Amino acid sequence: MSASFIDSELQKIKDAGLYRRLRRVDGDQDATLKLDGREVINLSSNNYLGIANHTALAAAAKAAIDRYGCGSGASRLISGNMALHEELEAKLAEFKGTAAALVFNSGFQANTGILSTLAGDGDVIFSDALNHASIIDGCRLSRAKTQVYRHCDLDHLKLQLKDAPSSARKLIVTETIFSMDGDEAPLDGIVELAERFDAMVMVDEAHATGIFGANGAGVVAKLGLSQRVAIQMGTLGKALGGFGAYVAGSRALRDLLINRCRSFIFTTSLPPAVMAMALAAIDLVKKEPERREALSANCRILKNGLIQLGFELGASESPILPLIIGESAKCMKFSEQLLANGVFAQGIRPPTVPPGTSRLRITLMATHTAGQIERALKVFEELKAQA
Ligand code: PLP
């Protein structure tokens, strides 16, 4: 196969109006960004609590480098299991109310690795239709039969559970807050069905960790389900402002993953500075509930403002507000117009979201000021008037 294949594939992407390019950020991650050389209001970050540039995280990372150096040198099972990995895992377990936790290098690696460890040939995974790409790939990698149930539809899930062979091991997997829609899974109902049909539950709290629950531990903690959800996965790179991921659950779960999970075993462990950032971030999240309150107030103001302007925002109850446009080209044009007016709200197209549901994925941060939100609303209003 000649390399011209690459050009023709790229052309296909362009012809379908789905070409993506990288935008460059100069400076730090905050409520405003210097994007492609221009200062813009940032409505496209998962740094929900605004702590990615916090001095406490930076100081912890610097101190860890001074004490432990930069790299971890090897995978966890060779010589890369440093004291900070274990310290973070103990803190995560306490944070999540579980017996144990295990750190992964990214959420993507966690989901693909956990699912392919816990399910295999002859097993059945029940997966919400809007689950993240890393969950979809984890299901594929596992070789289990995957039953995709309609988004948040407990009746559909129940039917599928009823139909599954009683001998099969069953695993239900769902995000708690969906990454592109911001809505919340009906977790109480999912857990009840799982108990009735003898299935395990795995949740992805990537967009809930740091934000929901009294201490910011997530939706599982908010609902008091820590003892009934066997596998609680989440990320350290979104509201927690750093990088990496974790799974929280039983000691046996941790042990099995250490022994079998390929994306945990065959990779260099995260460096000490990243562990130190996460440790500092968890302390900050617990100590400063006012960040969650500010985030929630900002969400209310922007959401109400956009609804008053006549935009449709779906059922989101989180800092992710999907402003559905429908057609990809129209969505990207709106996103570009906003950017030209100093507001960055990334357009999201298939395959990230289903065809016909292209949207602006608007996200809020605790550190947005009232003035920035007001300015953004003004721009939305002006563009709507011109449409
Ligand atoms: N799960 C969900 C729901 C996500 O939105 C993401 C986003 O990146 C991931 C997993 C992957 O996490 P990470 O960025 O740490 O790889």
* Model pTM score: 0.97
Classify residue 387 by its DSSP letter. Answer: -
Residue among 138, 198, 227 at smallest CA distance from 174? 138
Q: Which of 54, 85, 170, 207 is catalytic?
A: 207
Ligand 1 atom closest to 243 (CA): 15
* DSSP string covering 141-166: HHTSEEEEEPTT-HHHHHHHHHHS-T
3-state secondary structure of 182: coil
DSSP sequence for 259-278? HH-HHHHTSBPPPHHHHHHH
Give catalytic status of residue 207 as yes or no: yes
Q: Which atom of ligand 1 is nearest to the CA of 108?
A: 16
- Which strands sit side by side in the sheet containing 32-35, from one edge to the other? 25-26, 32-35, 38-42, 343-344
pLDDT, position 314: 84
Residue 286 structure tokens: 């617990």
Q: What's the pLDDT tens digit per position in 39-92?
A: 999 999 999 999 999 999 999 999 999 999 999 999 999 999 999 999 999 999
Measured CA to CA, the distance from residue 201 to residue 173 in angstroms comes to 6
263 flagged as catalytic: no
Pocket test for ligand 1, best of 134, 178, 274 (most atoms within 8 A of CB): 134
DSSP 241: S
**Pairwise CA distance, residues 151 & 356, whole Å:** 16
For the chain, domain boundaries: 18-47+289-386, 55-287
The DSSP element (H or E) to which 245 belongs, if any, is strand 245-249
pLDDT digits (tens, 9 = 90+) for 118-161: 999 999 999 999 999 999 999 999 999 999 999 999 999 999 99
pLDDT digits (tens, 9 = 90+) for 245-296: 999 999 999 999 999 999 999 999 999 999 999 999 999 999 999 999 999 9
> Both ends of the chain: CA-CA distance in Å?
46
CATH superfamily name and code, 18-47+289-386: Aspartate Aminotransferase, domain 1 (3.90.1150.10)
β-pair partners for 321? 362
What is the mean pLDDT of the segment spanning 161-177?
A: 96
**Ligand 1 first shell, C-beta below 6 A:** 106-108, 111, 132, 134, 175, 179, 204, 206-207, 235, 237, 245
**Tens digit of each residue's pLDDT (9 = 90 or more) over 204-256:** 999 999 999 989 999 999 999 999 999 999 999 999 999 999 999 999 999 99
Q: Which ranges in the chain belong to alpha helices (H)? A: 4-15, 55-68, 83-96, 107-118, 133-142, 154-163, 187-196, 219-222, 251-260, 262-265, 272-287, 289-308, 328-340, 370-386
Q: Which CATH number fits domain 55-287: 1.20.1250.20, 3.30.160.100, 3.40.640.10, 3.90.1150.10?
A: 3.40.640.10
Count CB neighbours of 63 within 10 A: 14
Q: What is the pLDDT of residue 317?
A: 86
CA angle, 97 as apex, 114 and 241 as ends, to 5°? 70
Is residue 387 over pLDDT 90?
no
